[in-house]
Amino acid sequence: MASNTTSRRETFDIGGDLTVNRLGFGAMRITGEEIIGTPGDEGEAKEVLRRAVDLGVDFVDTADSYGPGVSERLIGEALGDPDGVVVASKAGLLRNREGDWLPHGDPDFLKNQVLCSLDRLGTTTIDLYQYHRPDPDTDFEKSVHAFAEMKDAGQIAHVGLSNVTVEQLETAMEIVDIATVQNRYNVGHRDDEDVLRACERNDVGFIPWGPMYAVDGDEIPEALGEVANRRDATARQVALAWLLDHSDVTLPIPGTSSVDHLESNLAAADLSLTDEDLAALDAVDSQK
């Protein structure tokens, strides 16, 4: 792991060997509406990806189901298989024409999907491949074994989980080393605090998805607005800075389809919250 507190605050070693800046980028929003099909302007979507890397992002999250296929393809086309950028993808959800997300953890399906992901990302080994969501109709352990086999075959370097409980994390860790867990979590939605703490105990990276959801919608939590005003920052920047401060193992992946929003969000890495700010934010009601 990183050798001192300062670097540990700024970077995290995924699986013990892939060092990344903790503030990454989520590439779900570079597809069409409802995360189906192509975006209105593919050139702009690729520009967002390139700008993220220019600004120091070296951890990009995607999934086979974003588009489906579109987000992975755009990453492959825009970035190639870049040295020094960790690309994390996922498998385990099907899409339909209505845009639903349907869990599908069949091992043969998962092994088919990694072949598609490798092709679209233009790589021979995916840095981190995550089981997107446990499938109630497939034995969880069988699905995790499929990821272990992909790792043994060299198709993926590390295995991650997403949308899991502490019990599922512990079950999976008996089968294969788990490098990361990706669950919904933000300053206003902390149902999975127990999963975060389990990740800390096991040096597993915790990727909070929807990191800025607390800011979306009509009502921003009052404390978030107050801290943002006090610090002359946006509420999104404060939400991201809180995630970075709340635990050493968080890897927030704010998503956007806009270069301007990207630049604004990434500035959160330079926002140091005071003890007063943190106390106010810690007291935010966990609702969103």
Contacts with ligand NAP by CB under 6 A lie at 26-29, 61, 162-163, 182, 209-213, 236, 253-258, 261, 264-265
Active site (annotated) includes residue 213? no
Residue 74 Cβ, how far from ligand NAP at the closest point, in Å?
13
Residue number, 205 or 210, with CB nearest to ligand NAP: 210
212 vs 138: CA distance, rounded Å: 32
Of 66, 129, 131, 185, the catalytic one is 66
* Alpha carbon distances (Å) from 208 to 17, 36, 42, 46: 21, 22, 26, 24
Comparing every residue's Cβ against ligand NAP, the nearest one is 26
Residue number, 2 or 166, with CB nearest to ligand NAP: 166
| Helix locations, 100-186, DSSP H | 107-121, 140-152, 166-173
Residue 111 Cβ, how far from ligand NAP at the closest point, in Å?
20
Beta bridge partners of 11: 21
24 vs 266: CA distance, rounded Å: 8
* Alpha carbon distances (Å) from 282 to 243, 259, 276: 11, 30, 10
DSSP tag of 260: H
Residue 246 Cβ, how far from ligand NAP at the closest point, in Å?
15
Residue number, 15 or 255, with CB nearest to ligand NAP: 255
Residue number, 7 or 258, with CB nearest to ligand NAP: 258
Q: Which position has the token pair 């991201």?
A: 240
Backbone angles phi, psi at 147, to 5 degrees: -65, -40
Residue 250 Cβ, how far from ligand NAP at the closest point, in Å?
13
